[in-house]
Amino acid sequence: MMQKQLENIFRGKKILVTGGTGCIGSEIVRSVLKYKPEVVRIFSNDENATFQMINETDDTEVKMMHEIPNRRFLIGDVRDKERVMLAMEDIDIVYHAAALKHVPLCEYNPFEAIKTNVLGTRNIIEAALASGVDRVISISTDKAVNPANTMGATKLLAEKLIIDANEGKGVKGTLFSSVRFGNVSFSRGSVIPLFEEQIRQKKMITITNPDMTRFMMSLSNTIELVFQATLLAKGGEIFVLKMPVIKLDDLIDVIIEEYAQKYNYKKGNIEKKIIGLRPGEKMYEELMTETETAFAFETETMLIIPPQLEMPSIHYTVSDYPNAHPCTSHGYSSRDIAPIPKEEIKRLLFS
């Protein structure tokens, strides 16, 4: 059923993906292309990643750029409003995945995080309204919940801007919603590629804290949530996927087991070194605050948070979302959920 709905919403449409060469953005591009849109514009400030994506090949080793004529690669930055306006001309759907995501880098460069994550999101909103875009889905993070670092604080502000845009747009019809999720396995911000590289170089694995817990999801789960939000959004909601929790020490054991053999290295020879929390880092992550749970809805796989702002033009009821019911949780923290065992971590990462 969902496949047919996605085909109906994407076929013949013009789609813009900001941060389109990143882990999440590029997978959105690949997934959307299956549904025959008129064009997908891939907006990125990463010249090298853009070049690599242009030269990607499919399973038949045919270069995607030459054989898929409905892709357009645009070099630009969401900080540059004029460039964003040009990129958004005549667009139907926007996926806003561009962001500064690395916690320590944002701690040491806070205003740069503000420029991209906050002011960049404002540029997306204003350009979408000026261009008459149908809907904007913004990619957020669990670090926006009770933020303890600059990155989380800027993403929280971005969420607030996206919510408010639904009321501040006046009579314009653009819908703005967000999706919020935790760590995506093997994404650029994930520690997994770092651990693999440390094993490959026969170095010690650096651990911030072995008892740290995180929400973890696969890339395919991420895209499924993004597309569900695209279908269900009325405007102003935050969509959250229910995710398993992993313990850092268990994750490292799985990584060692998987990659030690690959690089001809004995598991017992790989040392671990505890280095402590990095600047701005939390021991536990949250997907939803206790306040949000008071008026949120949930399904078997998803949490839906309507805006707390009063919006006379939009009414949110549980019946708007299939198979939903009022949320029964009191907050949603990795501290309160039992971590999955190592075998499940292995399936999550390598299946």
Output the pLDDT for position 219.
Answer: 87
155 counts as catalytic:
no
Please classify residue 138 by burial: count the beta carbons closer than 10 Å to its beta carbon, then call 0-12 exposed, 13-18 middle and 19+ buried. buried
Asked whether the predicted pLDDT for residue 181 surpasses 90, the reply is no
- The amino acid present at 283, given as its one-letter code, is M
Quick one: DSSP state of residue 249?
H
Question: For 4-8, 89-93, 137-141, 327-331, which range has the lowest pLDDT when averaged over its residues?
Answer: 327-331
Measuring CA to CA, which residue among 72, 44, 6, 23 is closest to residue 64? 72
Segment 86-128, tens digit of pLDDT: 999 999 999 999 999 999 999 999 999 999 999 999 999 999 9
Segment 294-347, tens digit of pLDDT: 999 999 999 999 998 888 778 899 999 999 999 988 778 999 999 999 999 999
Output the pLDDT for position 162.
Answer: 98
CA–CA separation, 46 and 100 (whole Å): 12
Quick one: DSSP state of residue 186?
T
Asked whether the predicted pLDDT for residue 24 surpasses 70, the reply is yes
CA–CA separation, 147 and 201 (whole Å): 34
CA–CA separation, 241 and 303 (whole Å): 6
Segment 185-203, tens digit of pLDDT: 877 667 888 888 888 888 8
Mapped onto helix, strand or coil, the DSSP state of residue 3 is: helix
CA–CA separation, 224 and 215 (whole Å): 16
Q: What single string gives the DSSP state of each residue in 83-112?
A: HHHHHTTT-SEEEE------HHHHHHSHHH
Among the options 13, 14, 143, 282, which is catalytic? 143
Output the pLDDT for position 310.
Answer: 80
Q: Which domains does the chain have, with CATH numbers?
A: 2-184+216-242+286-336 (3.40.50.720)
Mapped onto helix, strand or coil, the DSSP state of residue 195 is: helix
Give 262's contacts (C-beta < 8 A, 6+ positions apart): none
As a whole number, mean pLDDT of residues 160-178 equals 94
CA–CA separation, 269 and 256 (whole Å): 10
Mapped onto helix, strand or coil, the DSSP state of residue 163 is: helix
The whole-model pTM stands at: 0.92
Give 84's contacts (C-beta < 8 A, 6+ positions apart): 18, 43, 76, 78, 123, 124, 127
Question: For 189-193, 229-233, 261-265, which range has the lowest pLDDT when averaged over its residues?
Answer: 189-193
- Greater confidence (176 vs 168) lies with 176
Residue with token string 């880092």: 281
* Residue 4 Rama label (left phi>0; alpha psi -120 to 50; beta): alpha
Output the pLDDT for position 106.
Answer: 95
Scored b (16 or more CB within 10 A) or e, 171-196 reads: eeebbbbbbbbbbbbebebbbbeebb
Q: How long a stretch of residues is the chain?
A: 351
CA–CA separation, 161 and 165 (whole Å): 6
What the block records as the tokens of 263 is: 């690089």
Asked whether the predicted pLDDT for residue 65 surpasses 50, the reply is no
As a whole number, mean pLDDT of residues 150-172 equals 95
Output the pLDDT for position 267.
Answer: 78
Which helix (H) or strand (E) element contains residue 162?
Answer: helix 150-168
CB distance 288 to 329 below 8 Å: yes
CA–CA separation, 3 and 11 (whole Å): 12
What the block records as the tokens of 74 is: 């645009």
Measuring CA to CA, which residue among 229, 234, 235, 213 is closest to residue 332? 213
What's the distance, CA 60 to chain centroid?
29
